[in-house]
Chain A
Amino acid sequence: MKSGSTLTTAESTLQLLKPPSVVTGHLTIGGLDDQVLTPVGTKPPLAWFVAFSVTLSATLIGIALIAYTIATGIGVWGNNVPVAWAFDIINFVFWVGIGHAGTLISAILLLFRARWRNAISRFSEAMTIFAVICATLFPLIHVGRPWLAFWLAPYPNQRAIWPNFRSPLLWDVFAVNTYFLVSLLFWYIGLIPDLASLRDRTTNRVKKAVYTVLALGWRGASLHWHHYERAYLIIAGLATGLVLSVHSVVSFDFAVSLVPGWHMTIFPPYFVTGAIFAGFAMVVMAMVVVRKTMRLENLITDYHLEVMNKVILTCSCLMGYAYLLEGFTAWYSMNPYIHHTFMQYITGSYWWAGWLTITCNVLIPQLLWLRPIRRSYSGMILVAVAVTVGMWFERFVIIVSSLHQDFLPSSWQIYKPTFVDYGILLGSFGLFFTLVLLFARVLPVIATSEMKMVLPGSQPAHKGGRHE
């Protein structure tokens, strides 16, 4: 091996080892503003209207069916003894889970100082908020008398009683509400500098008034940035705690019970991992569409997609671990009820859902070990769709399959969802994507101030300092 070729090998190896730049191509700070802020508030292209009409129709179908449910009663759903929880809770857990990816990207990656996160943090945080909105819909409508839902709040009342703080269902109320409020706060605080930019760019009087109020008079003062950075970092740290705790509290809904197959101590981290898993799949799908349609490939680069795919792969392996351990413990516990429930997952009336879950969550994402799949759009979308379907069905398996054959054999029954169940699920997807589409046109999808921070050359050179 001649020294010349060794050097080239070393150089090329070094290139492989270093992460690429956060933006591809050359971009000035002002250019970034132009690229990201110009489409905000302008008339969208035709494709957007087509997509919007589809999602809006889905939303309206969902709303109509929710109205039907509230007017008539929960009997229009397929829920019945023993499967008293079905699509309502499946959808709730599904949507809350999807929200967690956004917080992971915007909060946890901020704590790790992963600069590549800045291009996708705004969008994913918005997805979190919309997903949580979709999620809170379900507990609200599944209570049967939603107009009395305020009874869950701990206020002094004539009945002289307090809500049951020992119940995980109430923990859910607090956790999801806290998650929503804190995510909203985090997202809004991140938006303030961008709103100031929009305020200063626009010439339209109405828009200027709106942006002025929303930007709270932000002027980029360094003293303000000083406090802002600290508060932002702290809220990110707190939001990280929320990522772990909120879905753990959701898992407690199941794990504190005695239903076989539900009372497994691994549920909290298993649910959190599943949440991140499903959320990242949704983010990948959204990112692929956004970067293409809004021409942001230089900001949301192939590297972003590759890293997100690696996260999906990691989560898939963790889910495989969790399934393995559930199966092992179902045997190891020597508890015939848990054993029966687990066998139901894979050989019972809903065996197809169990195998669909395992295939979509553990087998298909393993394709991401292969670099070509990680870098091709069709590959990643295939995996992302599989993961979304798989994660929805995982909750189906956990809830419906465990419940349909619980303690009393005389109560065993097959659960059949009604068209109302399907319609409301469709409506939730419609609501989510409607909000996403609206967000993409009304607010900047990339956090310009955060992005400007990490553009090459934007920070003064330290005495040899680096930030990775």
Chain B
Amino acid sequence: MSDRKIFSVVGIFDSAQHLMNAIPDIRKRVNAPLEAYTPYPVEGLDKLLGYRKSPVGGMVLVMGIIGALSALGFELWTSGRDYPQVTAGKPLFSWEAFVPIMFEVTVLFAAFTAGLGMLLLLNRLPMFRHPMLRSSSLPLVTRDRFALAVEARGAEIDVEKITRLLQEFGAKSVEVVEEPAPAGVASPKFFLRTLTAIGIVCILAGFITYWTMKLFPIVKPMVHMLDQPRLNPQSPSRYFSDGSGMRMPVSGTVARGSVPYTIRNQELAGDLVNPLYRTETVLRQGRQAYMNNCSVCHGVLGDGKTSLTKAYGAKPANLVSQSIAGLPDGKLYHVIVAGKNAMASYSAELGEDERWATVHYLRVLQRAANARDEDIPK
């Protein structure tokens, strides 16, 4: 006789049928709560013991819906609002493409609610300190016996009476199970609390990380390198007397690779000689340069007939006319470099070689406009 309190009186039965037969009789005669222990689920036992419908289904439905909505919402928010990127021409809020993941997350939430909810919440497992785990009846139960326990639940119970009743209604043996020492750390509540805490920490960490990644990088002092004591373009500066940070290049500055062109008017340019030979390569280059730069105003055939004449009332020169055909190469070169009348300088668009090549091509156009029978090859 130990000084431990009695937890329950357990009767062991040989078969499920015997257990089922005994329960109504015992229930009638004993006021204390009953618990049955079986190696496998016995049909009809839950009704006999008066259990209500298990809430697992309801929990699963709720969590499943939460899973579905949160997955869909997350996908819509990330792909539609936070980082909106059009992929394969699909609309931003393309719900069709979000359904598969939504479905999988729903199943994940629902399944884990069912499994963990059943274990942790409803069954309060893991529980390693239940008195039954120390009894000698349990190994019999997990093998092939069926037990009915009349639990004390704090009140006083008449052990002898219950033992007699159990034996009367078919129990092959009876055991008195005592309560163990008080529970230590590893209780179900501890597990539940720990898991919940981990869950909350994870969710919080997610949010914190997100805002840290989004806001923090653009807030000082994280971006101190954005704030440098340097002269930014288009800002004022007191260093210079006129207060402007933007400075003009020193007078006389030339662009790299350019040779200054000092001829002041077209007359003087007449002495320039075309340094390029009239080869097919040069002519092709000239044609390309002409087509890209000149043909828009002077026409593909060089005759000055383009839509510009109608649209703007401009009058580009007819380059294949007698007067211009009679000009020496240098004068044509001068117009390209210095411009003439409404035509601007093309020295920036065409390098020196290209200009001379264009001049060669102009000659081609002029020859073509005044072609003779002898020009046609046999």
Q: Please give the residue numbers on chain A whose beta carbons come within 8 Å of chain B beta carbons, in ascending order.
A: 28-30, 33, 154-158, 160-162, 164-168, 170-171, 174-175, 178, 181-182, 185-186, 189, 193, 196-197, 199-201, 212-213, 216-231, 234-235, 238-239, 241-242, 245-246, 248-249, 252, 449-450, 452-453, 457-462
Contacts and interface: CB of A to CB of B under 8 A. Distances in A.
Interface string B99-142: 01101110110111011011100110111111011000011011
Q: Which size bracket describes the interface of B in this complex?
A: 35 or more
Given A231-B115, A235-B111, 11 more contacts: A30-B143, A155-B206, A158-B213, A167-B87, A186-B115, A201-B139, A216-B125, A219-B132, A228-B123, A231-B118, A239-B111
A160 B118 contact: no
A302 B105 CA distance: 39
Contacts of A165: 75, 78-79, 97-98, 101
Contacts of B128: 212-213, 217
Given A165-B79, A249-B104, A200 B117 contact: no
Contacts of A239: 111
Contacts of B262: none
A230 B56 contact: yes
B118 A193 contact: no
B190 to A, nearest CB: 13
- Residues of A contacting B: mostly: helix
B226 interface: no
A162 B38 contact: no
A28 B127 CA distance: 30
Nearest to A162: B78
Given A224-B125, A226-B46, A460-B44, A29 B144 contact: yes
Q: Most chain-A CB neighbours within 10 Å: which of B17, B111, B210?
A: B111
A160 B83 contact: yes
Contacts, number: 221
B54 interface: yes
A222 B210 CA distance: 46
A230 B143 contact: no
Interface of B: 15-17, 20, 35-46, 49, 51, 54, 56-57, 60, 74-75, 78-79, 82-83, 85, 87-88, 90, 94, 97-98, 100-101, 103-105, 107-108, 110-112, 114-115, 117-119, 122-123, 125-130, 132-133, 138-139, 141-144, 206, 209-214, 217
Contacts of B209: 155-156
Contact of A234 (B40, B56, B103): B56
Contact of A245 (B82, B104, B112, B213): B104
26 contacts: A28-B144, A30-B143, A162-B78, A170-B101, A175-B101, A181-B108, A181-B111, A189-B115, A197-B143, A200-B138, A213-B126, A217-B129, A219-B132, A220-B37, A224-B123, A227-B118, A228-B41, A230-B57, A234-B111, A245-B103, A245-B104, A248-B100, A249-B104, A459-B16, A459-B42, A460-B43
Contact of A462 (B44, B105, B108): B44
Contact of A222 (B17, B46, B104, B107): B46
B133 A219 contact: yes
Contacts of B133: 217, 219
